[in-house]
Every structure is written in structure tokens, then in C-alpha cells.
Amino acid sequence: MPVHVRAEPGDFAESVLLPGDPLRAEYIARTFFESPRLVTRERGMLGYTGSYRGRPVSVQATGMGCPSAAIVVEELVQLGARNLLRVGTCGGYHRELQLGDLVVATAAAPQDGTVSSLTRGVPYAPAAHFDVVHAAYHAAERSGRRTFMGPVVSSDLFYDPVEDPAGLWSRLGVLAVEMEAAAIFTIAAMRGARAGCLLTVSDTIGEEVVRISDEDLRAAVDNMVELALDTLHG
């Protein structure tokens, strides 16, 4: 049994949704799964398994930041997970991004310590698995939701004293900032699993930071989770 995700092989489905927030994991399981079962609660990092349209699926909280996500993903793979889909929020850098938009991350620039520790500082481009990106693209297209596909940056900082310094990330075509995808993509690649990442824009970062309301965030995240389940099981 792994040290942190305390569960047995077979407790998790091969396909796992990965929100950062444990309470969002609980909400997803109770709202969208048939017959949800709590499979781990170690450190409050809740994980559930149930089914969606009759097929097994799990949801596991990663916590915040790449170090936490790296532990969780490594242990999920040890437990038999093969398809990993982060569902989270992001801060939008791209000028056209509006609050509540969906971002499908194709890659995640690793502005974090975890990926460079794993690669021993060797330059590396963490990327989502093509199969997951492809399925997410079609799920988003079917839903009609405003969707942007492209790279994001995974930062160690939520409260960054210098957001998007000199517009660097925007000029490089990076759509948004979040905090876990780079580690999830890297560990999945190292361990032969497939990973992807869907994000709802919860704040836009320009001259000033503008945040989404709680109510609009809830609706946008609900829609994203349906899309994520379609991506895994569509």
C-alpha cells in the first residue's frame, strides 16, 4: 500500500479525475458518479471510485502545487491508474480569455522545482498525451463551450509578486497559469500513463487581476467535469 494514497490495487479505476481540492473531489464523486465509494482519506486527500455511464471511474485530490501532485500521481500509477485527467482552475494570460472559459492544456511549461528535480535540470517539455488532448478537443466541440487549446505554465507561486514578467508568457503563446499540470504530465510520461488537463479560467491577469464569482465558478466547473468525464469515457 502506498504511503500517502492509502488504498489497495483495484480500489482505483484506470481512469482518474484529478482536482486539486479534496472537497471538489468529494463533490464530483457525489454529483457525477454512480455508486461512489470513498477509497482513501489519508491527510484529507479524498479519493473516490464509482462509475459513469456504467464504466468505472475515480476521482482523487492532488492538493496544491507540483510536489503534492507528483506524490499523488506516482502512487496512483502504482495502484494501477492509466488515464489521468486534471480538472482545475487557472489564471488567464491570453488577451482573449474570459472568466469561465475552458483551457485544454497541450503542454505545461515547468516553472517549478519538482520537474527540474526529476529531470536533474535537463530542459524538458512536459506535454499532455495526444489521445487525451484529442478526446478533450472533441468533447469540448460537442459541448459548444468557448475553448482554448494550447500551452499553460505550471508555477510554484499563486501569489506571484511579478505576474507574467514583461508579458513573457503571453508573448510565448502561453495561455494561462496553474500549479500542477507540469508534474502530472512528467510523471505520467515517465511511468507510461496518459495524462491531460482541463482548466476553467477563474481569474484573468492583465493590468489588474479579475476574479470569477463563486456562482459562475461552480457552473463552469460542473460543465468542465462533465466534459472531463466525456473525455475519459466518450
Q: Which residues bind ligand ADE (CB under 6 A)?
A: 89-91, 155, 158, 177-179, 202-203, 205
By beta-carbon distance, which residue lies closest to ligand ADE? 91
Q: Which is nearer to ligand ADE, 176 or 227 (CB)?
A: 176
Extract the runs of DSSP E, i.e. beta strands, from 65-212.
Answer: 83-92, 102-111, 147-155, 176-178, 194-205, 209-211
φ, ψ of residue 66 to 5 degrees: the values are: -65, -40
Q: Which is nearer to ligand ADE, 108 or 179 (CB)?
A: 179
CB of 158 to ligand ADE, least distance (A): 5
Helices (H), the chain: 22-32, 66-78, 113-118, 130-143, 168-171, 181-190, 214-233
φ, ψ of residue 115 to 5 degrees: the values are: -65, -40
CB of 188 to ligand ADE, least distance (A): 20
CA dist., res. 171 & res. 52, Å (int): 40
CB of 176 to ligand ADE, least distance (A): 8
Catalytic entry in 21, 160, 164, 203: 203
Q: Which is nearer to ligand ADE, 86 or 129 (CB)?
A: 86
What are the CA-CA distances from residue 4 to residues 71, 117, 148, 188 (Å)? 8, 20, 34, 18
Please confirm, yes or no, whether 203 is among the known catalytic residues: yes
φ, ψ of residue 43 to 5 degrees: the values are: 60, 20
Q: Which is nearer to ligand ADE, 40 or 111 (CB)?
A: 111
Q: Which three cell numbers stand for residue 181?
A: 499540470
CB of 220 to ligand ADE, least distance (A): 12
The single-letter DSSP state of residue 43 is G
Rg over alpha carbons for the chain, rounded to the nearest Å, is: 16
CB of 99 to ligand ADE, least distance (A): 11
φ, ψ of residue 195 to 5 degrees: the values are: -130, 150
Taking alpha carbons only, the member of 76, 71, 145, 75 closest to residue 104 is 145
Q: Which is nearer to ligand ADE, 114 or 202 (CB)?
A: 202
Q: Which three cell numbers stand for residue 6?
A: 492509502
So which residues are the catalytic ones? 203
